[in-house]
Amino acid sequence: MTMNLSTSTYDEWSALDKVFLMQRLWSENIEYAVPTSNLFSDFVRLFSKHNQLNMQDLYVIVAWTVFFTIFRYVAVAVLIPLATWLKFKSKDRLKFSECSSKFISYTSMFMYEYYLINYKYPTYRYVPGSHWTDHAFDMEVPADIKLIYLAQAGFYFYAIYATVCLDIWRKDSLPMLFHHFLANALIIFSLSLRYHRIGLAVLYLHDVADVFLEGTKICTCFNNREKTPFWDTMCTLGFLGFAWIWFFFRLYVFPNLVVFGAGYVGPRLVGAHDHFFFMFNVWLMILLFLNIYWFHFILKFIYKAVVGDMDTVEDIREEDEDRLGGESGEESPRGVEKSPETTLNGHVKKEAVDEEKKER
């Protein structure tokens, strides 16, 4: 059943500092569309009918994927020698190149998203109704929003490849790989069905935390080389900023603006899309649970710092507590056994490992 929502109601929803919007989800008697036994077949049939993604869009996505992949290899070729020149420990050289390339990518995309959502389309920030007003499957996506969408789709295709073949393999790499598939499903799905306005808000709310995450990891590389009050303070401030931003944007604004908007406001403005909204909301809820899953690592890290189990910020969002607490374990790419002869993606050679042994 579709409900008409007034402009005054939108104004109330825009005041995130005054009203905790998710309370409405539980305090009001809301009628939900009940999935039928033909949910999947209906979803495929209707998606094929309303899909607006064309071959040109796919070519652009492939081009962005190739661009980010080449950029990563160039970054590794440049940054690992730089890390060696800076006398980083061998275990930090690959990490420095990985985090720096991600930092540049996330920062560039977030700055563009910040411009779009704060200056070009400011109502998308905190007004759920603005995501669904006058929605139509055949509506045009503004060129500036489509640009970031296609770039993000290409980035996450590259990120899937990088997680498997290039990045340091961590205990949370499998959830990260699942996240990349989920993120790209949401990006392509929302672009195909013209849910791009709420999608832009999702991108904006998630990328800022990654900027702080990768920036803090870069600071730890400098701090591990030679611990100084400056780098130790930068690591601490970076982590605290990352933790706060993760909580506020991903665990407060995201459920209140996006999950509430897609689960409550959207179906009442465009109620004919019941099959799409069910799948869309399932994916958004999975993304929210992933955010909670990673946030528990942040809480564990904070707990260890408070009780004195660590004296410096080493690495974050890692499941291996030994690595969080210090230098007891070395990280390696997937399938690479740690030994003096091991080469990390062809860059950290035996000499570098021997050098670190001498340092210890």
Q: What does pTM read for this prediction?
A: 0.79
Predicted local distance difference test score (pLDDT) of residue 9: 45
Is residue 57 in a domain?
Answer: yes
Domain extent, residue 182, equals 38-349
Residues 6+ apart with CB under 8 A from 217: 95, 99, 315, 316
Tracing tokens 């003096």 back to the chain, one arrives at 340
Is residue 302 in a domain?
Answer: yes
40-54, 119-133, 156-170, range with the lowest pLDDT: 40-54
Is residue 147 in a domain?
Answer: yes
Q: Alpha carbon of 285 to those of 149, 272, 278: distances in Å? A: 21, 21, 11
Is residue 1 in a domain?
Answer: no
Is residue 129 in a domain?
Answer: yes
Single-letter amino acid code for the residue at 302:
I
What's the total number of domains in the chain? 1
Is residue 23 in a domain?
Answer: no
What are the tens digits of pLDDT across the range 156-197? Answer: 999 999 999 988 787 778 989 999 999 999 999 999 989 999
Is residue 79 in a domain?
Answer: yes
User: Which residues are registered as beta bridge partners of 223?
Assistant: none
Predicted local distance difference test score (pLDDT) of residue 273: 55
CA-wise closest residue to 218 among 360, 77, 313: 313
- Give me 300's structure tokens: 């564990």
Predicted local distance difference test score (pLDDT) of residue 205: 95
Is residue 241 in a domain?
Answer: yes
